Structure 1
Amino acid sequence: MLWFVIGAANAIAETTITLNAGTAEPLITAEGGGYYGELAREIFSRIGISAKVIRLPSARSIINANEGIDDGVIGRIAGMDKKYKNLIMIPVPVVRLKFVVYSLDQKDSVENWGSFKPYSVGYIRGWRIYEKNLPQTKSLTIVNNAEQLFRLLMNGRAELIMFEYYRGTWWNEHLGANAHIIGSPVAEKDMYLYMHKRHKDLVPKITEAFKAMKQDGTYRKIKDKTLPPYMK
């Protein structure tokens, strides 16, 4: 009997939670590092569980989490559990994303969604925030990924491109685009961690561990280490 109890305890201790993320550097790297990777490992280590984060295409990531192929998904907006009924949201934001506008000309100016009308604009296919809010523009080009987006700007095929700040900063430096953020963010959104409902018993523990990280400064240290500060 004692052997059985010890064996069960060891099995729990050896459990690895697999989360996925439908994004890219610097939020998550191909190797499972970056902000989301380090954050998840710290959260789960505090409740005695190892964790890893894998990178998937955005649409596939939420489906895998909902179907239980993976244990959860990190970096999604609030309310995803209304559509994906097998998911439970951890009610503490993992990060606040800023959706910004890049230009090669610092004289360009946008103050609201209506300000885009006289410009040629580009954004990545499937980004609902732009599909819903962007009015008619001088011209619009929709691309498939971040590199194509910045190449539009660099090759003069778009005067403005719309993207998320952390990933935009990474690609701007990676490609040497020398783009500038103009105006204030057009939107900001808190992002959350969701767990598959089979882990519902872990949700209070995860929540408390994450709150403790924010209180003791660990959250800030991970963020400062892995993400660039917001600078226009």
Structure 2
Amino acid sequence: MGSRPPGRGKIPFLLFVFWLLSGHAVADDALVINSGRGAPFATPQHDGFYDRLVVELFSRLGLRATTIKLPSERALINANSGIDDGNLARIRGLEKKYPNLVRVPEKIVSFEFLVFTNGLEFPVQGWESLAPYNIAYITGWKILENKAQYYRSVTRARDGPQLFGLLEAGRVDLVLYERWSGLWRMKRYPGRLRYLEPPLERRDLFLYVNRRHAGRVAALTDALREMKRDGTYQRIFDETLGVLLRPGNGSGGSP
């Protein structure tokens, strides 16, 4: 019997390990909806807002689905290429750049994009008011990439921990982030972190699915609307995001 060349057989094993680490260790029959958002939207325990919403939404179509967390830009690429089945939640119009994505037209959630600082205060009067400051935001957040055009310098971060690490280290004056994730961080890491009002922008966000699921868009739209009518959506919202509005969840302006 011939001997196996050294290292042969290791590559499939390494690919399997990479597959596990990339977040794709899910049942073969479960659809994978990825997100660039972590807690309180997608969590390792799968008890975040997106986690619970996706399970309920797809179950109403008789389908199993789960969420995975990926870097924001990678999440879009994977959904567009068909590696994953969909992506949430994003602003309308992404299909112009990612033609394999189809938007489910019923809103998933609204985001308010705020300025977060470590004690710095100034009047927020639109995007132009950021001009004197060193700012940072997360790569792949398209609205910020398009809108944040006024600054002394700009740094792009991989994710939330890296973003706020820049702020805590004093490498930037402020970071741009959405309200719910910012409130979650303020609750977990109390300190000088605060947010400034009013929001720079408010946008409705949507679920996008790969075009191979285009035939399910109408049913997903109807199911999401029914979840809002029967109170399921509000219950999930209150138990995952609404709790962050309770007193004692950090300092800063009022949500």
- TM-score, reference length from structure 1: 0.82
**Aligned residue in 2 for 1:72:** 86
Identify the range of structure 1 (156-165 vs 71-80) with the bigger mean alpha-carbon deviation. 156-165
Matches within 5 A, 1:35-74: 35-74=49-88
Written as runs of structure 1 = structure 2, the 5 A alignment for 1:66-215 is 66-105=80-119, 107-215=121-229
Structure 1 residue 96, shift from structure 2 partner: 0.8
Residues 159-199 of structure 1 show CA distances to partners (whole Å, capped at 9, x for unaligned) of 32211112222223333343221121101121111222222
| SS at 1:182 equivalent | strand
Q: Is the 8 A contact 1:92 1:211 kept in 2?
A: yes
Q: 1:205 and 1:131, CA in 2 relative to 1: closer, same or farther beyond 3 A? A: closer
Residue ranges of structure 2 left out of the alignment (5+ in a row) = 1-27, 246-252
Give SS of 2:234's match.
Answer: helix
In structure 1, the partner of 2:16 is: none
With over 3 angstroms needed to count, the CA separation of the structure-2 counterparts of 1:140 and 1:46, relative to structure 1, is: closer
Report if aligned partners of 1:99, 1:164 keep a CA contact under 8 Å in 2.
yes
Distance 2:163 2:228 in 1: 34
In structure 1, how many angstroms separate the alpha carbons of the residues matched to 2:140 and 2:35? 16
Counterpart residue type for residue 81 of structure 2: E
**Does 78-87 or 37-46 show the bigger shift?**
78-87
Alpha-carbon distance in structure 2 between the residues aligned to 1:200 and 1:134: 33
What residue number does 1:5 align with?
Answer: none
Matched, 1:220 2:237: no
Question: Which stretch shows the higher mean deviation, 164-173 or 87-96?
Answer: 164-173
Q: TM-score, normalised by structure 2?
A: 0.75
Corresponding residue for 1:6? none
- Structure-2 separation of matches of 1:73 and 1:33: 17
Q: Give the alignment's Cα RMSD to 1 decimal.
A: 2.4
How many residues are treated as equivalent by the alignment? 219
For structure 1, the 5+ residue unaligned runs are 1-13
Deviation at 1:37, TM superposition (A): 0.8
2:29 maps to 1:18: no
Q: Please give the alpha-carbon distance, in whole angstroms, between the structure 2 residues aligned to 1:86 and 1:213.
A: 27
Q: 1:83 to 1:211 in 2, by over 3 A?
A: same
One-letter code of the match for 2:78? N
